[in-house]
Amino acid sequence: MSLDAQPAASTAPPQAADATEISEARAAAAESLEDYTLRFAPRSYRKWGPGVVATSALGGIAYLADFSIGANIGLTHGTVNGLIGILVAATIIFLTGFPLAYYAARYNLDLDLITRGAGFGYYGSVITNVIFASFTFIFFALEGSIMAQGLYLGLGIPRWIGYLISTLIIFPLVIFGMKALAKLQVATTPVWLILMVIPVVYLVVSHPDSVSTFIAYAGDSGGGISFASAMLAAGVCLSLIAQIAEQIDYLRFMPPRTAENRRSWWAATILGGPGWVIFGATKQILGMFLAIYLVSTVPGAREFANEPVQQFLVTYEQLMPAWLALVLAVILVVISQIKINVTNAYSGSLAWTNSFTRLTKRYPGRLVFLGVNLAIALVLMEANMFDFLNGILSFYANLAMAWICVVATDIVINKYLLKLSPKKPEFRRGMLHDWNPVGIVSLLLSGGISIAIYFGALGETVQPYSPLFAVGIAVLATPLMAVATQGRFYLRRTDDGIDLPMYDEDGNPSGETLTCHVTGMDFERPDMIASAAPGPNGEKLYLSSLALATDRTGEHVLPKE
């Protein structure tokens, strides 16, 4: 069933809307039909089963940076401290990622749209979008650096050329959005798993002494168990907390949850959402194990033991001739880099486009910001950021945790316990206040104080615990701000002017359609809002959230209630 307003072709647009703006909105809508930039992901597009969505989401965690992270913290802090840090970080990441993944899969929204209605406001979430976009190009650069290491070792290609290759190879793969990415991730996952798992299993079985050497390794300091060292290790791992946003860029395409698919839906949501950290933590431990094995058996390996291509090359050489080991190590690195960096590039381009369009009311196209994101990542690679991996990730972790923990706390406490934040997510312009102090103030307090602690503002004794301060302050400040403001800055309106129900009988976003007055295209009910300006005959007009985002005159924006 479809309830259509009078289409744009037969309705004169309100006088303040110019032809350029209408043309731009139509072009934006047409382009975003593939990846649904800025928008709710409609039911008509979500044709994948839960298993395919989860597999596609997990394909994005094929990155090898985990091996480098595990290697660095193990070699620096020792095995036991490293393991404690990894487990602490994984627990925090899982707990904070669960409510975000649920909201994305249930209501088919990306994390920016969720953030808007979870304490930040329509424009306020631009701040967190910049934090997330930074995550994507930092990790793109890390993975591109690892691929360049592989190309240098296997083919002798100079690293600066390898950085360029690892960047340019991604651009054509990301142009076509979710459909192409889903096929790529599903097709490459079995090969990636075989290349990564089998050699490690063989090493453990054939060299059982490597396990005892691994457990006994004390790190550069040579000390025993230290909670401070463990927290420093956790801080590096917690920089990956923003990975949930990339998982959500896939999870938003989950099919509606019904009685028939309830079990598979939940399994896919948990596995493809916060469950990514189970695989991530496992890879960090494997990276730690391989690095310590290298240091213990290969003279001079301390200089390159944190490079995944070297880790796997030595492992493969236990199984096969050296030339074949080198070929497979390079193949693994290239496959892993492509799998994660298509996700980094895709998600980063969405984040930049989203922010730019909201601030300027102009839609330049996602491909423009795909180029911007890749260019920034290339500059970081050429600056040899791989050598400063721990420092970059430790600093970034404070901002990432502040953002994710504020949103997760708003969902769990402010929405479900205090009921001061609207339980159903809202993201449309005009329905939300532009800025919400609940999330913004909490983010500034959490991120600002934890960064100050990271740089030693409270002394060296407290310095290692900056990640825990980021989490704790976010969890405390978010509900306190909601109580202080009594939830007044969440919703600007409660009525979007449309009589059709927003959700179906199962609580899923409705599949009913309306025609957008500006673009002339049909959009599903959750993506639509009534226009403040009536048609030429006084009839009610409807706009998609994307068309409203590019409305520079503001005449279509409903007034505050």
List domains and CATH numbers for the chain.
Answer: 1-44+493-561 (no CATH), 45-427+437-485 (1.10.4160.10)
How far is it, in rounded angstroms, from Cα 219 to Cα 390? 15
- CB-count exposure of residue 53 (10 Å: 0-12, 13-18, 19+): buried
Residue pair 290/312 in contact (Cβ under 8 Å)? The answer is yes
- CB-count exposure of residue 62 (10 Å: 0-12, 13-18, 19+): buried
Query: Closest by alpha carbon to 346, among 162, 64, 133, 66?
Result: 133
Three-state secondary structure along 115-180?
A: HHHHHHCCCCHHHHHHHHHHHHHHHHHHHHHHHHHHHHHHHCCCHHHHHHHHHHCCHHHHCCCHHH
Query: Closest by alpha carbon to 475, among 422, 408, 416?
Result: 408
- Which three-class secondary structure state does DSSP give residue 522? strand
Q: In this structure, which amino acid lies at residue 133?
A: A
How far is it, in rounded angstroms, from Cα 393 to Cα 389? 6
The predicted model scores a pTM of 0.82
- CB-count exposure of residue 359 (10 Å: 0-12, 13-18, 19+): exposed
Tokens 């050699």 locate to 199
User: What does residue 266 show for φ and ψ, rounded to 5 degrees?
Assistant: -65, -40
* Distances from the Cα of 10 to the Cα of 5, 519, 520, angstroms: 10, 12, 9
How far is it, in rounded angstroms, from Cα 232 to Cα 228? 6
How far is it, in rounded angstroms, from Cα 560 to Cα 557? 9
Q: pLDDT averaged over consecutive 10-residue blocks of the chain (561 residues)?
A: 33 45 53 57 83 78 81 90 93 94 92 92 90 83 83 85 85 65 67 77 81 84 80 85 86 90 93 92 91 85 82 83 85 79 79 82 76 84 72 78 94 95 92 94 94 88 86 95 95 91 90 88 90 87 86 87 82
Tokens 């423009």 locate to 368
Q: What is the pLDDT of residue 185?
A: 64
Q: What tokens does 409 get?
A: 């706390």
How far is it, in rounded angstroms, from Cα 371 to Cα 170? 10
Residue pair 464/235 in contact (Cβ under 8 Å)? The answer is yes
- CB-count exposure of residue 397 (10 Å: 0-12, 13-18, 19+): buried
User: What does residue 439 show for φ and ψ, rounded to 5 degrees?
Assistant: -80, -40
- Which three-class secondary structure state does DSSP give residue 544? strand
Q: What tokens does 22 get?
A: 């209408």
